[in-house]
A and B are shown apart, each in its own frame.
Chain A
């Protein structure tokens, strides 16, 4: 997979640091960021908001037949994480020898997601680590 440099660069705050946004009117937190708050509509007051990265496994699946991009990484685990702030985020779960279980606590780490071949860019992204 080749990613246009500008496209991954635009998402950098989200992909490195889990920056989403928060509605200052009702307190709802969004990741990825939304343009309009689901609760407040036109009254939305959305501000950039960095998620702590803490959360727990809501569900997970082990990938053994991945797309070409992640072919060298199989088998690996994708988790649906319920973050401490509320939003559900899908992401890679790092293999640290611990068993993935529903309800297991996680935190985020920065890892290489994939690289565009030998000469292209390396794409860094958050992943989840079981605590």
Chain B
């Protein structure tokens, strides 16, 4: 059975506070913080993009797994902010970890859930014996239009998972998905910022799909919310995952460790995967973990993981997510605009 052999996460260290963005638009920071459940977000450096974030996470995953990167037979990078429209991020990442040339690679896009779709793809390839190890990455440097509500949450980060059968730290015992054509969020080719369906993004998009995939998983495995030590839900803000957990019958303690959006914002394809990385940083052998991602457009992938003894042998090699989150530098709105390339000098 395929499982996780290694993982790595990366969050850029720059942060901007909700207060600083609210100051520019004359909005109430308290109202936004209460409404979204987010107090600050990560911002990538001027020299960072989805490829460099994916590469850093991938290098950490290879180090953690302790495998020869030549044995990685597939690299898939899920992102909605690939640096090129045409030229694969996955090839750059593979080169940066010393994988290839005898391997397959491709970029995926499914809003915030392309990374978990990549996990499912490499699981199938590993289980069928097509490859020994596969790498699935979710990484983004998402942007919100200045003045749009998304500007308070759209952030940057990523996580990489190496899937294989040998020396796993957690086996993936089941996966389910729930997908429909839903116009909740989109961005056309060549357009800098996304559009969204306002209120439509909640009930008919996030909640319907997250609940759809998770309920299907509980039926498939015969497990109940109380059987899990941890649960991670996609987190476009701090409120949605908290509400969906409650609707499904999970307790706040189960989602706490993997709930990162309140402190780094929504890292899109990275979000549920960084949340899972944070959980693996402290999970113990025998723990059961539920992860359900969500991507606009819309769909959810759900996974149940069973943590193995091997996690104790590799744990010291992890760059812990919550330590990374605590290591930060605040920037103001002007530096934020310069950093995001909104100010052009030529």
Q: A-side interface residues toward B, CB under 8 Å?
A: 12, 16-17, 50, 71-73, 92, 94-97, 109-113, 122, 124, 127
Contacts and interface: CB of A to CB of B under 8 A. Distances in A.
Given A50-B98, A110-B96, 8 more contacts: A16-B95, A17-B98, A72-B338, A94-B45, A110-B55, A111-B48, A122-B83, A124-B92
Contacts of B84: 122
B72 to A, nearest CB: 15
A111 B45 contact: yes
A124 to B, nearest CB: 6
B326 to A, nearest CB: 13
B191 interface: no
Interface of B: 13, 45-49, 51-52, 55-56, 59, 83-84, 92, 95-96, 98, 329, 338, 345-346
A111 B55 CA distance: 9
25 contacts: A12-B95, A16-B95, A16-B96, A50-B98, A71-B345, A72-B345, A73-B46, A94-B45, A94-B47, A96-B13, A97-B13, A97-B329, A109-B52, A110-B52, A110-B59, A110-B96, A111-B47, A112-B52, A113-B47, A122-B49, A122-B51, A122-B84, A124-B51, A124-B96, A127-B47
A12 B96 CA distance: 9
A72 to B, nearest CB: 5
A70 to B, nearest CB: 10
A120 to B, nearest CB: 11
Contacts of A122: 49, 51, 83-84
Contacts of B92: 124
A111 B52 contact: yes
A94 B48 CA distance: 11
Nearest to B346: A71
Nearest to A68: B346
Contacts of B346: 71
B239 to A, nearest CB: 31
A13 to B, nearest CB: 8
Given A110-B56, A124-B51, A124-B52, A95 B345 contact: no
A110 B48 CA distance: 9
Contacts of B13: 96-97
B47 A112 contact: yes
A102 B286 CA distance: 47
A90 to B, nearest CB: 17
Contacts of B49: 112, 122
A96 B13 CA distance: 7
A63 B271 CA distance: 36
A16 B51 CA distance: 12
Nearest to B55: A110
B95 A95 contact: no
A110 B56 CA distance: 7
A127 B13 CA distance: 16
A94 B52 CA distance: 13
A71 B345 CA distance: 8
B148 to A, nearest CB: 23
